[in-house]
Structure 1
Amino acid sequence: MENDQTDKNSSSRCTFFHTDPEDYRCDVILTVKRATGAFSLVACLFMLFVIWLLRRYNSLAQKMIVSLTVAAFFDSVAYVMDESQAEGSLCNFQAWWLTYFDWSALAWVCLITMNLYLNLVREIRTEHYEIPYHLVAWGVPLLMSCLPLMRGYYGLAGAWCWIKDDHVAWRFGIWYIPLFILIFLMICCYARIICVANDRMQSWLGTFNPERERRKVSLAEEIRPLKWYPSVYLLVSIFPLLNRLHNAAYPKNPMFSLTLLHVLSAPLHGLANALVFGKDTWSQLSNTGIKLALRSRLCDSTRIGEYHPASVRYTAELESDSDDNDNNVLFYSADMSLKDRGPNGY
């Protein structure tokens, strides 16, 4: 009886290899999955810390990168969830969570690309698009993740819960086909963006103009890190696609090497995004740069208070016998004491 219970528990941990439940390959797959998910989780936290430290959340493009990082963080959480591999509500929740935040991270990458395209190629200001961007990036994934849930298609799907093996068409229709179509469109957009940017840089010739040179540098800095996002998604999606194709062709005979590459690359969206974002920020993370940034963040006591207009008192007595008795105040507020006027009383 005890042995039967042990075998049952072991088999619940390893359902993706149809062999002995004690097969070492199961432990390898699960360990790699947890490790890569944890790396991505830490990378996203570090990226959010750097964004906070360097105050990179002011422009719309920077806010979109923050949202992408948040989506990648929650996506990484799905890969470190408990892998009990038991059908039920917890498995369905993990599958829905994974689908939702996979789509959310992809949506933010696409919107970042579109925003840069509108700014540079179409020359359209997009500051007022922030709310529509959020509606798309969080709304479309909700629809895509709820469709399989409502049809009851979520369940065991290898090393984690996702769309079941007997619903292959839904796997490709919900995720892989849209994923590679969007990657192709993003590559086309960045090719166009780079061509337009190069043309404009070459056309800015003639006498030296500081504002023009500043725009050239700003343009190059804007494009350089963002152009790698489609490549990142392409690289981390190739092996999952190959493994799912193999699963569709041989559902009862999963390949260990492809499964290992799948669990090694799929959870790395957060880590890859952090590396892309950090490509141009490592130079600012020297010891001196970190100390200055932390001092600015934690030790800056300068506060700008709101001005409250009140009565203004003028006086002709410009001389006084003592600074302690100096009552000459040109702009007076009821909240202000004499100590607020500075070290010398002025």
Structure 2
Amino acid sequence: MGDEHPLQMNNTSSSRCTFFNTEPDDYRCDVILKVKRATGTFSIVACSFMLFAIWLLRRSNSLAQKMIRSLTVAALFDSVAYVMGESHPEGSLCNFQAWWLTYFDWAALMWVCLITFNLYLNLVREIRTEHYKIPYHVVAWGVPLLMSTLPLMAGYYGPAGAWCWITDNHVGWRFGIWYIPLFSLIILMTCCYSRIICVANERMRSWLGTFNPERERRKISLAEEIRPLKWYPSVYLLVSIFPLINRLHNAAYPEDPVFFLTLLHVLSAPLHGLANALVFGKDTWSQLSITGIKMAIQSRLCDSTTIGEYHATNRLVEQLILVEQTGRFRNNNIHNL
């Protein structure tokens, strides 16, 4: 009885494994599928926690913060595609997974590009972008709809390794729809961030001299805004390089997949959501101390008052008016006596 269960599990594993020419006792499919689900789950948890932190700490006031929130939502739904069950056979469910994966991969990428573009307009071109909110959403959700629907309409989706995507018979579409635009945009973002950092350093050097509170506040705000974003092209490149290498090998040897490359592929591709949470939520995590969480929860759930900015000048004027009124009241009482 003890030997029957492992054999049954291995047979079930081989029946659902369509990306290796396996024997009944091959363990590789189970490893690939478990790693895929684990990394996808890590990303889902990270994105969910970041959305909770954004809500808890009220980090959605500025346009840049709202864009990071939208990016986190896209990354969360992208991670869901990697835990949508096992390796699906060709059919409507497989097409749905492929479309979902392509759409939210593109949505996350577009939000990263738009965050970079927005920072470039604010810092380098000195253009206010608050009124760009609707165009940003149209681009961020519209372009992925086009890029994910084209292969669906052409019938190019199907089993493509550990999940469903564009099949091995349409390699040109794989690179035209995703990999060529992806690495082109990574290069553009790298150049853009290089320009942003150069301009920011020039601004900070020009602000050296006599102490100015407003200037110091702008310097700190600028450094905090750029610090987490400047590393993102490198992070995105790291989580995309192994999928590219594996897809290049699949294109050259479609009938001979390599287990190690496939393992690196499923280990890194689902980590986009986790990478988003770590890079864009770095400053948010630093505020999540035990005391900070308690105060934020109390503010959110228990206190209905509105917290605004404290203006010392206005408070001083109110106190002077109160003193003057008190003095008049006393004088009137003395006069009546």
Same fold (TM over 0.5): yes
1:259 and 2:259 correspond: no
Conservation of the 8 A alpha-carbon contact between 2:87 and 2:159: no
Show the counterpart of 2:227. 224
Conservation of the 8 A alpha-carbon contact between 1:12 and 1:84: no
Q: How does 1:1-346 map to 2 (within 5 A)?
A: 10-302=13-305
**Which secondary structure state, in structure 1, belongs to the residue aligned with residue 227 of structure 2?**
helix
Q: Given the superposition, is the C-alpha separation of residues 278 and 303 from structure 1 closer, same or farther in structure 2, using an over 3 Å criterion? A: closer
The amino acid that maps onto 2:159 is L
Show the counterpart of 1:313. none
How far the C-alpha of 1:10 sits from its partner, in A, is: 4.7
Instruction: Please list the CA deviations of residues 269-306 of structure 1 after superposition, one character each: whole Å capped at 9, or x if unmatched.
Output: 111111112322232111111111111111103269xx
Show the counterpart of 1:318. none
**Which secondary structure state, in structure 2, belongs to the residue aligned with residue 285 of structure 1?**
coil
The amino acid that maps onto 1:295 is Q
**Which secondary structure state, in structure 2, belongs to the residue aligned with residue 155 of structure 1?**
strand
Instruction: Please list the CA deviations of residues 228-261 of structure 1 after superposition, one character each: whole Å capped at 9, or x if unmatched.
Output: 2211210100000000001011111100000000
How far the C-alpha of 1:200 sits from its partner, in A, is: 0.5
How far the C-alpha of 1:8 sits from its partner, in A, is: 8.8
Distance 1:284 1:147 in 2: 43
Distance 2:9 2:226 in 1: 55
The amino acid that maps onto 2:104 is F
Q: Count how many residue pairs are aligned between Structure 1 and Structure 2.
A: 300
Instruction: Please list the CA deviations of residues 18-37 of structure 1 after superposition, one character each: whole Å capped at 9, or x if unmatched.
Output: 12254100000000000000
Distance 2:172 2:93 in 1: 24
Conservation of the 8 A alpha-carbon contact between 1:14 and 1:21: no
The amino acid that maps onto 2:227 is R
**Which secondary structure state, in structure 2, belongs to the residue aligned with residue 162 of structure 1?**
strand
Show the counterpart of 1:339. none
How far the C-alpha of 1:6 sits from its partner, in A, is: 9.9
Distance 1:261 1:274 in 2: 21
**Which secondary structure state, in structure 1, belongs to the residue aligned with residue 283 of structure 2?**
coil
Conservation of the 8 A alpha-carbon contact between 1:54 and 1:293: yes
Distance 2:288 2:229 in 1: 20
Conservation of the 8 A alpha-carbon contact between 1:12 and 1:86: no
Conservation of the 8 A alpha-carbon contact between 2:98 and 2:164: yes
Conservation of the 8 A alpha-carbon contact between 1:12 and 1:85: no
Distance 1:78 1:70 in 2: 13
Q: Which runs of 5+ in 1 are unaligned?
A: 305-346
Distance 1:126 1:8 in 2: 57
Conservation of the 8 A alpha-carbon contact between 2:11 and 2:25: no
**Which secondary structure state, in structure 2, belongs to the residue aligned with residue 199 of structure 1?**
helix
Conservation of the 8 A alpha-carbon contact between 2:18 and 2:87: no
**Which secondary structure state, in structure 1, belongs to the residue aligned with residue 46 of structure 2?**
helix
How far the C-alpha of 1:84 sits from its partner, in A, is: 4.3
**Which secondary structure state, in structure 2, belongs to the residue aligned with residue 200 of structure 1?**
helix
Q: What RMSD over aligned residues (CA atoms) do the two structures have, in Å?
A: 1.7
Q: Given the superposition, is the C-alpha separation of residues 195 and 12 from structure 1 closer, same or farther in structure 2, using an over 3 Å criterion? A: same
Distance 1:21 1:123 in 2: 63
**Which secondary structure state, in structure 2, belongs to the residue aligned with residue 51 of structure 1?**
helix
**Which secondary structure state, in structure 1, belongs to the residue aligned with residue 169 of structure 2?**
coil
**Which secondary structure state, in structure 2, belongs to the residue aligned with residue 146 of structure 1?**
helix
Q: Which runs of 5+ in 2 are unaligned?
A: 1-7, 308-337
The amino acid that maps onto 2:83 is V
Q: Percent identity?
A: 85
Conservation of the 8 A alpha-carbon contact between 1:153 and 1:167: yes
How far the C-alpha of 1:226 sits from its partner, in A, is: 1.4
Deviates more, 1:217-226 or 1:20-29: 20-29
TM-score normalised per structure 1? 0.84
